[in-house]
């Protein structure tokens, strides 16, 4: 009986030796503590308008026109109210801005950010001298909260803010008949 077990023992030892050699040739290394397995790309989008004179003093954007070259800021704070991200972005010819939040740390620590709660978009400036007064439409001054965008992308977590608006510096008086 011992003679029948010897070939099995030798085969088991050879298999174990090969597995050890294979493991040493391709060692598995777990990610270091605090290392990110994969960076998650995050972006915010929105549109900035020039509010029509007829709607000044309201939150209505009826008759508003997209505002090219307007600047907005995106800022994110952690749970101790420290700013962890801040950058400004400019709108395109259609008043649209796309703000990739490069360097925004979403995991790894108790102060990791959750963009829906931690980030806000604010109006900064308008390139149009005829429409350059800030409004708080959708909290453009106080800080517009983010919401999940309806679009699905596997490359980026996309959020939306606004729409935001500046108002004209001068609106002619309406005649009252």
* The CATH classification of domain 42-167, taken from the options 2.60.120, 2.60.40, 1.10.3470, 1.20.120: 2.60.40
pLDDT at residue 125, rounded to an integer: 96
All structural domains of the chain with their residue ranges: 42-167
The number of residues in the chain equals 177
pTM of the predicted protein model:
0.70
| Helix (H), strand (E) at residue 115 | helix 115-118
**Could you read off the pLDDT of 132-170 as tens digits, one per residue?**
999 999 999 999 999 887 666 667 788 899 899 999 988
**CB crowding 85-110: b at 16 or more within 10 Å, else e:** beeebebeeebebebbbeebbbeeee
Contact by Cβ (8 Å): 160, 102? no
Q: What are phi and psi of 85, to 5 degrees?
A: -155, 135
**Could you read off the pLDDT of 25-46 as tens digits, one per residue?**
333 333 343 444 455 588 899 9
């Amino acid at each position: 009986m011992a003679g029948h077990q010897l070939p099995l023992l030798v085969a088991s030892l050879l298999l174990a030796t090969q597995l050890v050699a294979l493991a040493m040739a391709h060692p598995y290394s777990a990610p270091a503590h605090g290392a990110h397995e994969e960076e998650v790309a995050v972006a915010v989008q929105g549109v900035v308008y020039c509010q029509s004179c007829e709607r000044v003093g309201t939150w209505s954007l009826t008759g508003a026109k997209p505002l090219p070259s307007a600047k907005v800021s995106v800022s994110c704070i952690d749970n101790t109210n420290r700013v962890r991200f801040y950058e400004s972005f400019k709108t395109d010819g259609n008043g649209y801005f796309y703000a990739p939040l490069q360097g925004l740390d979403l995991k790894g620590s108790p102060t990791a950010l959750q963009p829906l709660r931690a980030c806000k978009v604010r109006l900064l400036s308008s390139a149009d001298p005829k429409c350059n007064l800030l409004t708080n439409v959708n909290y453009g001054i106080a800080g517009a909260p983010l919401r999940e965008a309806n679009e699905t992308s596997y490359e980026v977590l996309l959020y939306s803010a606004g729409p935001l608006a500046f108002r004209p510096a001068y609106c002619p008086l309406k005649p009252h008949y």
